[in-house]
Structure 1
Amino acid sequence: MNRINWVHTSKKHEILEAFLSFIYATETFFHQGHDLFQSDWLNVKNELVSRLQSLKEDTRQLEKKMQDRHALVPKEVFLHPCGLSVDPDVVMEGYLFKRSSRAIRTWNRRWFIIKNNKLLYVRPEVDFNNQLFPVDISTGCTVMEDDLRLCLVRPAQSSCDRRYCFEVVTPSKYPSSSIVLSHMLQADSESLRLAWIKALKRTIEAALHDSMPDMPSNGSTGNLVKAMPKDHTTSGTAVRNEGEYNATALSIVVIAVSDQISVCNLPGNELCAECGSKDPKWASLNMGITLCIECSGIHRCELKRPALERGYFKIATNFSSLGVQVSKVRSITLDVWEPEQVQLMRLLGNRIVNNIYTASNYERRLLKPNSPRFAREAVIKAKYLKRSFMRPFSRHGRLFRRHLINCACSNDGKDQIDVLRLLSDEMMCQSNELIVATARNDIPAMFTAIASGASVNCHSADGSQGTALHQSKSAIACELLLLNGADINAQDGLRKTLLHYACEAGNTALVCFLVKRGADQGLVDIDGKCPLDIAIDQANADIVTLLRLAKLSDEFKGDSVSLNELAFLDVCRDFTLTGSRSPSLC
């Protein structure tokens, strides 16, 4: 017990003594350190503070330079390639990434030049046999666009997977096509992209301004000149008051004017098909005629054609005007037409259509440019709805018409049944002629049969040939039938649609057209095969790819434009361009 008391007594002063020794040792250590650094510490501290401030300033300068690094890009971009001389006529030049026009979309870096109203670029290998992108002999550069006046420059859509991209939109290089092409280009920075867009727009504006004196004073081109601003600079590289008008909208009008010229150059199309007014600005696509604005207003009135009106017997006679089912009116200068519609307008035209609808009064025009509206309505209704001026088209001739009139005037129930039977025979006769003309790909004969009262959805007499659409071998014939109400998904006795037969024949252009127009791929024939199954059996890689892309496009359609939908549209554009190069495919 005494031992425990001794331990408790001694531990207090021993612990306190040890702690005090630690305090003395710590004080001695820091006192010696203070004595050691006292002489030089002030200078070292001031030097470190100064160095720290210098490092912070360098860091801020570097960060600012990195944020504004695009300002250094032009120093590298505008270094001329070896062997390319400096040209004072060049508006702008530099490196851009160009998206390939092939099926596999690759990006290649090329040196681009804006010169003499052309967009050129330098390729590693010059191809003098390339018809799509010819070579400029004077510079040795490949010509992407030889006339920038027909082009539209705009920033790329938000769906593009790359930054700093812009588009150069242009009509097709082939006269027989109205396809709108798009060249996708990418700059190295946002400032460069804006500089290229501004340079291209100014070049387009200056070229349009310089070409004003050479344009005719009348016609659609004259109207385009009147819409242009007058305050331009005379140089080829700059235009004053750039914000006075929208260059994008002007470029779209220029593209539409090229389509108008191709349609209105046909003999007779320079005048309105109804009243003869000059410079028609409208067209009826399914009738193949050009119209003035007054006559187009009657054509596009939203009323329907009567249910039964065939031949020389009109059951319904209370017509107020034409409806959209009768005439599909589009603007020549503002609306965008499909290539097949342009080809159809070229194959028909005012002369052919008027020779069909006004055979008995073809030489004597019934309307004048100053005719009042009520006169236009009366003549146009009689011409298209009642077909009052058409040549008799019945196979049975005068006896048929006389018997038809006698039956119509009789109150006998048997005679009324004969009326319906004769009308049915008349309709079947014209429908068979339509099927035969479609098989021959005779567009004027097809239109004559339709104008004479043929039903575009009527099956052949024996039912083996299906409808007229099943006999069509070209996209133009299909377009004529679809514009006049044909069912694109009509099935024949084997439950096959035209899409089935197009896949069997390996007609890629026709498959592309049908898919683009919304043909149903899910319909199966009597063997349970859909068009995709037939294409796989035929081992046609192009059609299989096209059908699968169309399915993906339909699945992802909705919120916004998807990459699958863009890929499908690109493929359709390529196939349509191929068809426009080869008229036999259309």
Structure 2
Amino acid sequence: MIEAGKVYITTNKHFVSGVRDLSQQCRNDEVVSECLQKFGDSLQEMINYHMILFDQAQRSVRQQLHNFVKDDVRKFKETKKQFDKVREDMEMSLVKNAQAPRHRPHEVEEATGALTLTRKCFRHLALDYVLQINVLQAKKKFEILDAMLSFMHAQYTFFQQGYSLLHQLDPYMKKLAAELDQLVIDSAVEKREMERKHALIQQRTLLQDFSYDESKVEFDVDAPNGVVMEGYLFKRASNAFKTWNRRWFSIQNSQLVYQKKLKDGLTVVVDDLRLCTVKPCEDIERRFCFEVVSPTKSCMLQADSEKLRQAWVQAVQASIASAYRESPDSYYIERLDRTASPSTSSIDSAPDTRDRSSKGESILQRVQSVAGNGQCCDCGQPDPRWASINLGILLCIECSGIHRSLGVHCSKVRSLTLDSWEPELLKLMCELGNSTVNQIYEAQCEELGLQKPTASSSRQDKEAWIKVKYVERKFLKKLPGAGAEAMETGGGGEPKPRRWSSKKCRRHHSSPRVPRMRRQLRPEPATISPAALSSASTLERKFRRDSLFCPDELDSLFSYFDTGAAGAGPRKGEASEDSSGEGERETWDLEDGREVHPGLLAYRAARARNLPVLAEALAHGAEVNWVNEEDEGKTPLIQAVLGGSLIICEFLLQNGADVNQRDSRGRAPLHHATYLGHTGQVCLFLKRGADQHALDQDQQDPLAIAVQAANADIVTLLRLARMNEEMREAEGPLGQPGQYPGSSPTELQYRKCIQEFISLTIDEC
């Protein structure tokens, strides 16, 4: 036991040494380092106590019992041997005495004398033997009990010391357990946030593995860090084999430099750009090459594409011109630091960052300018930078975290500065605002006497308020129902049903522009039926060209179909996409004074393009996919299409409307938008996963309807979406959203084919 204990102590010492080493490795994290240091010291104390225990066992048990066995038991064994020998001698003397013959007196006398001596010796040793037995028995009891009692006292001391040590650590361990629970919660929240950002990045990324957006490749000769442009280029070696190697190049402080690896130093290709020239090279076998020629040498470089080559050539030329503009003194003072580590940002990272920052600020200013949006909707914190896109409100960062914990079915949180914003979603945020939403969700707050939390309130108070406000919805004002509340008194004193008034926006038409070149214009589709469209006279059609696609819109179309993260936005001239401005009012009577059904209210508000009433209906529990059996099974989303509002459609989709739910005639929202010629709505539904292959009652899909209506815009959108689906099916698993082949030429052919298709469609129109 003692030997095994010594091995255990040695192993424990190695473990404690490892804990202390880990504490040194984690010294940047104060919580972890302090914890490991404290526990390591405590475990070392326990090892010391254990060593004392085994030392006590060594002295009190092992040594004492060893002395007992070595001295007392051995002495007893020697006495027993002497006693056994005398007993055997006495037996022999008895035998000889019995065998002595009577007629031999001298033998009898000799045998008798020997027996007497042997018997005296036996009696004496027998007494000594009995004495040794009694002494050994008594000492054995004493030695065993004394040894075990000493050992148990050592055990008691060991555990008492261990308890005292751990008792002192108990408050710290309880505090650490509480912090650990919070760390687990924070880790889960951070994981969920990172997963959400990961999903958004996957949605926003277009052909990221294949290449980045080359249209954004820029250079800046006045960059604060001195890096005009940087990125990977192939460099032809100057050896006999003329091998090509990929290196990270950068233009810094009027020098062209490169490095092999991140930790390697910089190699200067051109020491002074003022003494060199740059020119594209078309006379070699490899594509996208250009040459930088200095007085001492020339360097052949290759970019990844033609646009990148042009960008590098322009960047070198601009750096040469900038170097000539600089004074000699400032030029030599700002020379490249050879030991400085290079920037690892991508070629277009700096411009993208500035563009994204300025764009985020413009979005923030635009949304915060809406009434009530200057402070958090739930606690009043100024300058909110987070939004709930399905509620249409702005939030502070703490309230946004609480909203995120409610689930996306209740609140969808997005950052105004960090996330990308589609035009229709931005317009939706500007249409609602904190004041409008609070008039709905806090209508009876003062009547109930509840105190709204402030920016300085605790998180628990804010969380309780938000749950009561948006989950339990206790502050909503009841919809008009039966009784005096739902009735109005007429001129004769007789009650009459109360009328619900809803603002209906007018359609704003933009005047058509005069075409600069002769082309055939496409007609405006009618809103009756395909048969009526085909029978109408061509001369009586109204022509317009202000919504035709131009080649610059190709990337926006790809962002619709490939990522779903950005939109082309409202088309100019479509009145259905603007729900602001002066408008006429649409009214309807409540049904016999009965309580207004939230689903019916949402249904009518969607048609009337009244966003606040629609938001109030959803707040009162209206089913977003409510079906009106009395009106061909139409849903609020179909009514929004018929009403002509892209913003209402976006609001319903953000709140869970089914983009493929059909009416009794088998027509989904995409069918109705195609019939009515609402290009923006068609684009929105395609982006949200609308099924363009669905057939209505007349066995027509949206593409057939658009072709029959001669609507070139919608035909182009639907054909592009269909070509995109076919391409993804042809590519297999790599064609799934967010996964694009890295070097397949099919993608380039696909983009070129679609660009030619767009151009041909525009020319035909």
TM-score, normalising length: structure 2: 0.38
- Greater relative CO, 1 or 2 (CA 8 Å, sep 6+): 2
Q: Say which one has the larger Rg.
A: 2
- Give TM-score scaled by structure 1 length: 0.49
* Structure with greater helix share of residues: 2
